[in-house]
């Protein structure tokens, strides 16, 4: 089974279809290693890891494999939420966990509110996470707004937000 098929099996085709445009839009895809805004070596679509070194290049297929593998790894964070999630909420929270990491996601007030049954409050928490390296980044503000819109509304709102860039 491919990483994409495993991701679909884990969170559902609807959630995968909704999370991909958000992650692709806000992470971007670069077929070589680069330093992200907080100076972390990154490749492809937001992939980080100890195997990366500056100067590496990757094919489209390698980048897709990394992306689905990373999404699958971060989909584990959704297990921290014990209440049922709609596909749009899974997608919003997976995009968020992909960006902040599973540990930060699982320890967040967002997860606490979701587990208490306060899904509107959980979605609102997304808007608070706009800092990287103690600086507010305009790209994170846009991403969190897109994740929030996905969390509380319909996926069409994300396409509208993408046009604001």
Q: Which of 27, 70, 87, 125 is catalytic?
A: 27
Helix (H) or strand (E) segment spanning residue 4: helix 3-11
Q: Report d(CA 5, CA 162) in Å as an integer.
A: 26
Rounded Cα–Cα distance for residues 63 and 43 (Å): 8
> How deeply is 16 buried, as exposed, middle or buried, from its count of CB atoms within 10 A (0-12, 13-18, 19+)?
buried
How many other C-beta atoms lie within 10 A of the C-beta of residue 44? Answer: 25
> Does the annotation count 160 as an active-site position?
no
Strands 131-132 and 135-136: what pairing?
antiparallel
Is 27 a residue of the active site?
Answer: yes
Catalytic positions: 27, 36
């Amino acid at each position: 089974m491919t990483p994409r098929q495993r991701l679909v099996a884990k969170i559902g085709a609807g959630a995968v279809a909704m999370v991909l445009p958000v992650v692709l839009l806000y992470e971007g895809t670069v077929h070589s290693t680069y330093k992200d805004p907080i100076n972390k070596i990154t490749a492809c679509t937001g992939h980080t890891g100890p195997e990366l070194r500056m100067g590496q290049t990757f094919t489209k297929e390698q980048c897709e494999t990394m992306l689905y593998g990373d999404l699958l790894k971060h989909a584990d964070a959704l297990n921290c939420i014990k209440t049922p999630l709609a596909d749009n909420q899974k997608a919003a929270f997976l995009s968020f966990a992909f960006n902040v990491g599973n540990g930060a996601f699982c320890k967040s007030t967002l997860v606490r509110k979701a587990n208490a049954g306060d899904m509107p409050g959980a979605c609102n928490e997304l808007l608070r996470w706009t800092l990287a390296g103690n600086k507010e980044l305009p790209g994170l503000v846009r991403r969190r707004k897109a994740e929030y819109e996905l969390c509380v509304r319909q996926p069409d709102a994300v396409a509208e937000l993408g046009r604001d860039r």
